[in-house]
Amino acid sequence: MKAISENLYERGINGIKYCRRRIPAALLAAYPPKKTHIVRSLGTSDLRVAKQRLKVEINRIDAEFAQKLAALQQKQASYSRKKLDSLSNEQLNALADHWVRQVLLNDERQRSEGLDDDEFDELGARLEEQRAQLGRMLATGRSDKILPAMHGFIHLCGLDVEMSPEESKRAGAAFLSAVVTSLDHQRARQGGQVVKTNDVAPEVLTPKEVATNEDGKSSKQGPDWDAVFIAWRDYVSNRPKSTAIATQTPWRELQRFATENGVDQPGELTPELMRKFVDVMAARGLAVITLNERLAKIKSLFKVVKGRGVLSINPAADTLGLKQNSFEKREKRRLPFDNADLGNIFSSPIFNHQQLRSQGQAGEATYWIPILMYYTGARTEEIAGLALADVVQDPEHGWYFNIIDRPSQDDDLFSEEQKAEKKKSNIDGKAQLQWRLLKNGTSIRKVPLATELINLGLFRYMDSVREKGEVSLFPSLSHDWHDKLSGAFSKFFGRYKTKILGIHEPKKVLYSFRHTMKDAMTNARVETKYLQRILGHASGEGSITDGYGSADVPLDALMDEFRKVKFFPIDAHSWQPGKGRVKFPKLPKTTGTGKST
């Protein structure tokens, strides 16, 4: 564009005039990343007319800036919402009292407006039904189903609380008691008794006011940038230096950005500043993947230090990175193994008569992980974490696996797949073995066991493991420093794929078995909800369930859908204990001139 005067530009062979206005730095956060100017056509090539229209357009843009500023200020005000990781006894009491008072005030207003007979009867029936259900929950100590309502009310009170399971249970019990109390007062009114709100639920401080008062009594001093980084670094003993340096780079970058914006300590950062930090990185031209990696490291650091109590808030908890466009995603999406690949893989030395195994810790998992991934579509870590008890026989429908859903950063089957947070653990020995087999009932999915696995000797292998007194399916596997049981095998398979199998396509990796399974089910016209559930994508109905009932689809229907799948026949020999180790070809030695010898 050719500049004519301030804010007035010309473009094109027809000389159409444009208004070009720089967005103030304070308002950049209100616009898409990398957008630094507003450019609008004035719809004319006549300079005199363009200057007249320019004045009008500038006024419009000024009005837009004012609106954006007001919206930002309102957004920043919302970020003043207090963030806590627990509620003190005083805050919890205030929450309960505030609930009772608000319910009774609303009930009082409703009755004062008048109820006809149908409305009165409907209200009475609802109160009795709720009292029976919630009373049973209170009597049995089951407050889990009241937690969504509790967190919603906490949010309305101006607080954001990220509670641990233990804290949620404590708070849920108190909140459930308050809900039942409010129902009892409403039922008394329904029976004709006089229940004055100010007598049974007098006005009290809100939970946020109580929290603010408590904050006023505490020191405002917090740890500096170095102290916070050290707290994160030392959370993992002997953390690799390379990992610390990789995280220190974006941390120092964030520190410089914060200083430029008048923030001296990490505890003073706000979610709005974190969003602006992302915008600044984007404006510098960082690649999307690089930007997101740096943000992920910062978010992980904040999560650890908040969990350790070093900081009371995590300003990056809800910060979003940038999304790649659909073309870039398609370019990077992994490819399935085709029939030629499957023939190559399963006729190779691991699976043929040689029965070779990894030289590392994988042992018999070298044979079974690819086989199980092919016939189940499960993730590598899900297979590695299986226990013998996870292979289950239903008396009516047959054999299936109980598989813990472990969404991974490697997942790319579904665009909305949730990414799992990595959990760290320092336990070892028998305690570690027990820990790796723990299961949360709501996170387990059933995957039918293909007949081909029985023919390949899965049950014989399980018997051999059971005879040794083991409980896990692959007892030789141990957690690496990423907390992955499958880490060592994944690295081995990457080398095996290229050096032994000769598969050099970078988009064909261990996870390609999942894509192969997805394609097989799609070709068999397996219903989407069953396909997604077998592959561990939420409940099969979407990414979020409502917290009630079973997240799994019916087993009989799942089995029927799975039987539709026709697996490409592979040449793998039936399992036998490993007979040797895989040896990779050595790289040729080079002379001082760089030539091979």
Residue ranges for the chain with pLDDT beneath 50: 78-79, 217-220, 326-327, 416-442, 539-551, 590-594, 597
Residue 460 half-sphere exposure toward CB, CA atoms < 13 A: 9
Identify whether the C-beta of residue 247 lies closer than 8 Å to the C-beta of residue 232: yes
Query: Could you say which DSSP state residue 387 is in?
Result: B
Helix axis angle, 147-156 to 165-190, nearest 10°: 90
Residues recorded for the chain: 597
Return the C-alpha torsion angle 395, 397, 399, 404, nearest 10: -110
Tens of pLDDT, residue by residue over 236-295, are: 887 777 678 889 989 999 999 998 888 888 988 999 999 999 999 988 888 888 899 999
pLDDT of residue 375: 97
Domain 332-581: which CATH number of 1.10.760.10, 1.10.443.10, 1.10.1040.10, 1.10.3720.10: 1.10.443.10
In angstroms, the Cα distances linking 363 to 349, 373, 474 are: 14, 17, 8
Among 310, 91, 127, residue whose Cα is nearest residue 205:
91
Q: Which residues pair with 399 in a beta bridge?
A: 393
pLDDT of residue 251: 95
In angstroms, the Cα distances linking 255 to 224, 229, 260, 268 are: 10, 11, 9, 11
Enumerate the domain spans of the chain.
2-78, 83-216, 225-323, 332-581
Q: What's the distance, Cα to Cα, between the start and end of the chain in Å? A: 60
For residue 152, how far is the Cα from the chain centroid? 20
Among 82, 78, 76, residue whose Cα is nearest residue 154:
82
Where would I find the H helices in 234-325? 241-260, 271-283, 288-307
pLDDT of residue 421: 38
Structure tokens given for 567: 């697996």
pLDDT of residue 161: 79
Residues 232, 200: Cα–Cα separation, whole Å: 48
Structure tokens given for 470: 């083991």
pLDDT of residue 68: 84
Structure tokens given for 119: 């409305």
pLDDT of residue 425: 38
Among 497, 483, 224, 457, residue whose Cα is nearest residue 346:
497
In angstroms, the Cα distances linking 65 to 20, 38, 73, 398 are: 14, 11, 12, 65
CATH topology of domain 225-323: DNA polymerase; domain 1 (1.10.150)
